[in-house]
């Protein structure tokens, strides 16, 4: 955590110095919560390295050989590890779903106030359903100026288009919460097959839509509890947002990350319990390789979920299942 803090300070030192935040606010509101977030994020890997180090020390001093020679089975030897892992899994679940989101909220508020600039959005062809049967579209949007370009608004009923507005641009006024639509062209489709057509110079109207709907910061998702994530995912899904997979990955990932402690415990004890010529260094090397492979597989599955449509819950649990079999293979080969 200290290393992570040093890197973050080096990256944000200019903004921190220029900000009106006091030294106490920087420490208590930002870096304390920063450590909560990264400690929980890396908890399974930290525990994995700890198990490797501790068990390897026992093995190099021949204590495990003495235990097994005394008639204790390897299954009995590994039981206390899983008791400890169970306590850590429960702790991690509570932290992930309830405590860390509140810490992330404080960290997020500090970043928005003192460190982050204006929202940026690189996506184009943005669609949202703002109410049942009413759809808004922007070809692109400048979130810094609150301007959307190539705007259209459609109303559908029973599968038929009943009303449509088209405009070159629409400007959002956050103070008054209304939109100024520039030179809108309005078509009203009648039941008799005819239509009414209007052109106006400007139209000021309220729409249940804000620019942030198209680009909420990714950090805001980490600041939500389980219930808030479910509600937010449902809202984004009903609006036609493409960020639903990202939200689902965050939601299920909190649980899978905690349960990966069991799997890494099995792998760690099985690897480090055998006395080797290379000593603890060899065990730590194997641990680092396994850890990087775990992260690599997790990255592949999450990218598949966000870009290819792979189910989010499978994306976060598949690495655990794969490395469960890896752990069972190491367990079978462990010194008995």
Closest CA to 219 of 310, 109, 132: 109
In angstroms, the CA 20 to CA 17 distance is 8
Position 285 scores a pLDDT of 85
- Spell 316-331 as b/e; 16+ CB within 10 A means b: bbbbbebbbebbeebb
Closest CA to 40 of 1, 68, 85, 72: 1
* Per-residue pLDDT tens over the stretch 4-33: 889 989 988 888 888 888 888 899 889 999
Lowest mean pLDDT across 8-12, 142-146, 246-250: 142-146
Position 216 scores a pLDDT of 56
Position 205 scores a pLDDT of 85
The residue assigned the tokens 């009413």 is 134
Q: For the residues of 139-200, what is the DSSP string, one character each?
A: EEEETTTTEEEEEEEEEEETTEEEEEEEEEEEEEETTTTEEEEES-EEEEE-TTS-EEEEE-
Lowest mean pLDDT across 68-82, 160-174, 259-273, 297-311: 297-311
Are 261 and 40 in contact by the 8 Å Cβ rule? The answer is: no
Position 213 scores a pLDDT of 66
Burial (CB count within 10 angstroms: exposed 0-12, middle 13-18, buried 19+), residue 172 = buried
Mean of pLDDT values over 185-205: 88
Q: Which residue has the higher pLDDT, 75 or 280?
A: 75
Q: Identify the top-confidence range among 36-45, 64-73, 106-115, 272-281.
A: 64-73
Please count the other Cβ atoms lying within 10 Å of the Cβ belonging to residue 288.
14
* Domain boundaries of the chain, sorted by first residue: 42-116+242-333, 126-212
Closest CA to 306 of 210, 226, 179, 221: 221
Position 243 scores a pLDDT of 67
Give the pLDDT band of residue 85 (cuts 50, 70, 90).
very high
Are 291 and 50 in contact by the 8 Å Cβ rule? The answer is: no
Q: 237 pLDDT exceeds 80? A: no
Q: What is the bridge-based pairing of β-strands 195-199 and 185-189?
A: antiparallel
Give the pLDDT band of residue 234 (cuts 50, 70, 90).
confident
Q: 120 pLDDT exceeds 70? A: no
Are 282 and 52 in contact by the 8 Å Cβ rule? The answer is: no
Give the angle subtended at the CA of 86 by the CAs of 70 and 89, to the nearest 5°: 145
Closest CA to 110 of 172, 20, 1: 20
Give the pLDDT band of residue 67 (cuts 50, 70, 90).
very high
Q: 38 pLDDT exceeds 70? A: yes
Closest CA to 43 of 105, 96, 102: 96
Sign of the Cα pseudo-torsion (100, 104, 105, 106, in order): positive
Q: 39 pLDDT exceeds 70? A: yes
Q: 118 pLDDT exceeds 60? A: no
Q: 115 pLDDT exceeds 70? A: yes
Strand partners, 197: 187
Position 109 scores a pLDDT of 81
SS3 (DSSP) at 128: strand
Give the pLDDT band of residue 219 (cuts 50, 70, 90).
low
Position 215 scores a pLDDT of 56
Mean of pLDDT values over 188-208: 86
């Amino acid at each position: 955590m200290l290393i992570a803090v040093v890197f973050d300070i080096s990256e944000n030192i200019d903004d921190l110095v220029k900000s009106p935040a006091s030294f106490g606010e920087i420490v208590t509101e930002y870096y304390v919560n920063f450590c909560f977030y990264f400690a929980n994020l890396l908890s399974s890997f930290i525990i994995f390295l700890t198990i490797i180090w501790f068990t390897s020390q026992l093995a190099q001093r021949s204590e495990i050989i003495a235990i097994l020679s005394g008639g204790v089975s390897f299954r009995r030897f590994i039981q206390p590890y899983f008791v400890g892992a169970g306590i850590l899994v429960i702790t991690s679940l509570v932290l992930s779903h309830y405590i860390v989101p509140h810490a992330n909220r404080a960290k997020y508020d500090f970043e928005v106030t003192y460190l982050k600039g204006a929202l940026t959005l690189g996506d184009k062809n943005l669609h949202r359903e703002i109410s049942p049967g009413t759809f808004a579209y922007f070809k692109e949007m400048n979130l810094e100026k609150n301007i959307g370009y190539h705007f259209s608004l459609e109303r559908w009923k029973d599968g038929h288009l009943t009303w449509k507005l088209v405009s070159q641009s629409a400007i959002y006024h956050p103070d008054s919460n209304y939109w100024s639509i520039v030179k809108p062209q309005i078509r009203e489709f009648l039941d008799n097959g005819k239509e009414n057509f209007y052109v106006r110079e400007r139209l000021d109207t309220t729409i249940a839509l804000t620019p942030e709907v198209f680009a909420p910061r990714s950090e805001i998702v980490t600041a939500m509890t389980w219930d808030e994530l479910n509600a937010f995912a449902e809202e984004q899904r009903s609006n036609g947002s493409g960020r639903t997979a990202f939200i689902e990955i965050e939601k299920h990932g909190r649980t899978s990350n905690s349960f990966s402690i069991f799997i890494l415990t099995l792998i760690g004890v099985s690897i480090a319990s055998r006395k080797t010529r290379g000593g603890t260094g060899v065990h730590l090397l194997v641990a680092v390789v396994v850890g990087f492979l775990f992260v690599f597989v997790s990255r592949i599955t999450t990218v598949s979920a966000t870009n290819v449509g792979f189910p989010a819950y499978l994306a976060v649990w598949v690495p655990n299942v794969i490395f469960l079999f890896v752990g069972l293979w190491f367990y079978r080969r462990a010194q008995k």
